[in-house]
A and B are shown apart, each in its own frame.
Chain A
Amino acid sequence: MSILSKSCKNICTYLGKNNNALYGALTIAVSKGILRPTFTMMDDKQDKKSRVYTAFREGTTGAVAFGAYILTNHFVEKMAKPICEKAKIPGKINQVKSTLSLISVSLTALFIIPAVCNAITKPLLDFFTGKQQSRNTNTDITPSIIQKHTIPPVQYNNYHQTFTHSLSPFNYGMKVGL
């Protein structure tokens, strides 16, 4: 019990003193990146193609978010010191870091992550599913269009084919060489 209470005190005190938007963002990115695609693939009411794309995009978003948040945090760490030095407020570096972190994390979530996902999701999905990337990017082909361009079946004008093509021996007529 003493170890548990000491660990709890250490963790809580550390988090209380060094709270950063990055911790929350990273934890959420990892958990969402794993659980969201899992739940999406369980949605039986949607066609598989849409589910796979959505699940893959959600997973990619989690992975991209994880990397992007670390990079933006690194950028914040690099930027905060020169800003404080030039503005002559060296004692406020932690405050500058917190606010810069919020701004960068928000902009990353709004623009950078979805833009990167747009660029990489489909090529990566095709790569992993083994599909060749179509030259025609417009894939809005509905079943009705496909039906319109399909060769109609041959009409026999009510002529019923009575002869079978079965290889089994006939049970009537002259039997030659059987």
Chain B
Amino acid sequence: MIEKIAAVLTNPSFVNFAQNTRATVTTESLFKATGRPAFIMMDNKVSKETRRYAAVKEGLYQLLCLGIYLTLVSIFFKNAGFKIAQKLMKNENCLPAFKNANEYEHYYKLAQMPLKDRKNSKLLPKISDTLKKDEFSKTTLKEDLLTKEKLELYEAGKGAIELSNLAGCVIGLAWLASEISNQILHPIMGAMGLEKKK
């Protein structure tokens, strides 16, 4: 029994999913968008009108969060944050000159695969042919991926992406989503027939 549980918990796809902020936020937002309005409607201590307002607001807000996260945060903030980190750490020699955050993520995934699986991976062609660790390296990162079993992961790049995601979450989800939610909540409630016209 415990072996089966451990096998599920250590499944590589599941582990990769769990270590990705984008995936965890998406999962959470979907759970919140369904579960929280349902719980609010069950709160009998307040009037129906109040419950309805709070529940619609919560559901709408969570869906907005998901939309903002999947577009603004995970695309704009991720790439902008990665570029800024690359510039800041230029002299630290801890992050090669990846074209963008996506190229780094492809490299990171490939570097964690066993050597025999890398050659046939769909991610390999997405790595630049000329990309090297630094100007003194004799081999490219792509050649390293095809010849070396253990590779450097350049965790600073992963950290830069995670940090950008967090900054994007605070700006996009806590601030922007709240503002947009306030603007569109009443027209939506009116269209759904949940609000009396004044």
Residues in B with CB closer than 8 Å to A61 are 36
Contact B2 A49 (CB under 8 A): no
- In-complex Cβ contact of A139 among B46, B165, B186 (8 A): B46
Q: Is A25 an interface residue (CB 8 A)?
A: yes
Q: Is A71 an interface residue (CB 8 A)?
A: no
- In-complex Cβ contact of B35 among A32, A54, A86, A114 (8 A): A114
Q: Is B136 an interface residue (CB 8 A)?
A: no
Residues in B with CB closer than 8 Å to A5 are 88-92
1/0 contact string of B46-76 vs chain A (CB within 8 Å)? 1111100110010001000000000000000
Q: Is B21 an interface residue (CB 8 A)?
A: yes
Question: What distance in Å separates the Cβ of A136 from its nearest Cβ neighbour in chain B?
Answer: 11
How many A-B residue pairs have C-beta atoms within 8 angstroms? Tell me: 199
Taking residues whose C-beta sits less than 8 angstroms from the other chain, chain B's interface range is 35 or more
Question: What distance in Å separates the Cβ of B161 from its nearest Cβ neighbour in chain A?
Answer: 8
Question: What distance in Å separates the Cβ of B172 from its nearest Cβ neighbour in chain A?
Answer: 10
Question: What distance in Å separates the Cβ of B184 from its nearest Cβ neighbour in chain A?
Answer: 11
Contact A24 B166 (CB under 8 A): yes
Question: What distance in Å separates the Cβ of A81 from its nearest Cβ neighbour in chain B?
Answer: 12
A63 to B58, CA, bound (A): 16
Q: Is A95 an interface residue (CB 8 A)?
A: yes
A40 to B160, CA, bound (A): 32
Residues in A with CB closer than 8 Å to B17 are 102
Contact B6 A99 (CB under 8 A): no
Contact A105 B15 (CB under 8 A): no
Contact B90 A36 (CB under 8 A): no
Residues in A with CB closer than 8 Å to B154 are 16
1/0 contact string of A30-60 vs chain B (CB within 8 Å)? 0110111011101101110110011001000
Closest A residue to B8 by beta carbon equals: A99
Q: Is A87 an interface residue (CB 8 A)?
A: yes
Contact A25 B28 (CB under 8 A): yes
Question: What distance in Å separates the Cβ of A173 from its nearest Cβ neighbour in chain B?
Answer: 52
Contact B174 A36 (CB under 8 A): yes
Contact B159 A13 (CB under 8 A): yes
- In-complex Cβ contact of A54 among B18, B19, B32, B57 (8 A): B57
Contact B50 A53 (CB under 8 A): yes
Q: Is A174 an interface residue (CB 8 A)?
A: no
Q: Is B127 an interface residue (CB 8 A)?
A: no
Q: Is B124 an interface residue (CB 8 A)?
A: no
Contact B19 A19 (CB under 8 A): yes
Residues in B with CB closer than 8 Å to A16 are 153-160, 162
- In-complex Cβ contact of A12 among B25, B49, B157 (8 A): B157
Report B's interface with A, CB cutoff 8 A: 2-3, 5-11, 14-15, 17-19, 21, 24-25, 27-28, 31-32, 34-36, 38-40, 42-50, 53-54, 57, 61, 85, 88-92, 94, 153-160, 162-163, 165-166, 169-170, 173-175, 178-179, 181-182, 185-186
